[in-house]
Amino acid sequence: MKKKVYIYKGFERFWHWSQAILVIFLAFTGFEVHGSYKFFGYENATVYHQIAAYSYIVLVIFTIFWHFTTGEWRQYIPTWKNFKAQINYYLFGIFKNAPHPTKKTVLTKLNPLQKLTYLGLKLLVIPVMATTGLLYMFYRYPQSHRIESINIDSLHTIALIHTIGAFLIIAFLIAHLYLITTGSTVTSNLKAMLTGYEDIESDEKEDNKVEEIKEEIN
């Protein structure tokens, strides 16, 4: 039996959507800085990119804090359970109306592929983008020569890593947009991230576990 479940909390939805807006804006201004097109003008694009970058870093700091204070960081612990089944589902099962191999619950919101991808973004891609971006900023901008003291030979490598990261993020965004539509209905994942609620198969064992945790917290 399906039950309406509160799956995404208020702050979680806030950081998801503000992150989406900031990252899309960073990609848009970043590729103008890169020289891919002209929209805001180079000078403006660099300023906007910098403002969005600082806003994003602040959001990331708050989000790290949220993950640890709520225990939600556990959602991202990678697992091999259902890993192959999940790949097979996206390659074949999905086209034959096969059931989802991972059942979504409050305690397991992410399937094994999502866990690994999001962990990779959080531990690798975002830190690399922020670090190379800040190095770029402090090395490149003429008003600041601070980074010279740690002897970075060339901006080239930093810019290259930052740009590769930007391409990875865009590849992720495209895959993410497709995968959003592969929930129990085409719009169910999107609705859940907007309202917080999703109709999911209820599981007595899982419900009891959630109640136990709630009692422990209170």
Q: Which residues form the interface with ligand HEM (CB under 6 A)? A: 23, 26-27, 30-31, 33-34, 46, 49-50, 53, 56-57, 129-130, 133-134, 136-137, 140, 159, 162-163, 166, 169
Name the minimum Å distance from CB 74 to ligand HEM. 25
Give the nearer residue to ligand HEM in terms of CB position, either 43 or 215.
43
Which structure tokens are listed for 35?
């020289």
Least distance from ligand HEM to the Cβ atom of residue 3, Å: 37
Comparison of 33 and 192: residue with beta carbon closer to ligand HEM: 33
Query: Is the Cβ of residue 3 or residue 140 nearer to ligand HEM in the bound state?
Result: 140
**Closest of 60, 59, 56 to residue 30, by C-alpha:** 56
Residue 81 CB contacts under 8 Å (≥ 6 apart), including other chains: 112
Nearest approach in angstroms of CB 151 to ligand HEM is 19
Least Å distance between CB 30 and ligand HEM? 2
We find the least distance from the C-beta atom of residue 154 to ligand HEM, in angstroms, to be 12
| b/e sequence 42-75, b meaning 16+ C-beta within 10 Å | eeebbebbeebbeebeeebeebeebbeeeeeeeb
Closer CB to ligand HEM, 54 or 65, in the complex: 54
Q: Are 23 and 169 in contact (CB under 8 A)?
A: yes
Query: Between vectors from CA 87 to CA 81 and to CA 91, what angle results, nearest 5°?
Result: 155
Distance CA 170, CA 27 (A): 8
**Nearer to ligand HEM among residue 89 and residue 139 (C-beta):** 139
Is the distance from CB of 40 to CB of 48 less than 8 angstroms?
A: yes
CA distance 69 to 187: 30
Do residues 16 and 60 make contact, with C-beta atoms less than 8 angstroms apart?
Answer: no
In the complex with ligand HEM, the residue whose CB is nearer, 7 or 161, is 161
Q: Which helix (H) or strand (E) holds 6?
A: strand 2-6
Question: Smallest distance, Å, CB 141 to ligand HEM?
Answer: 7
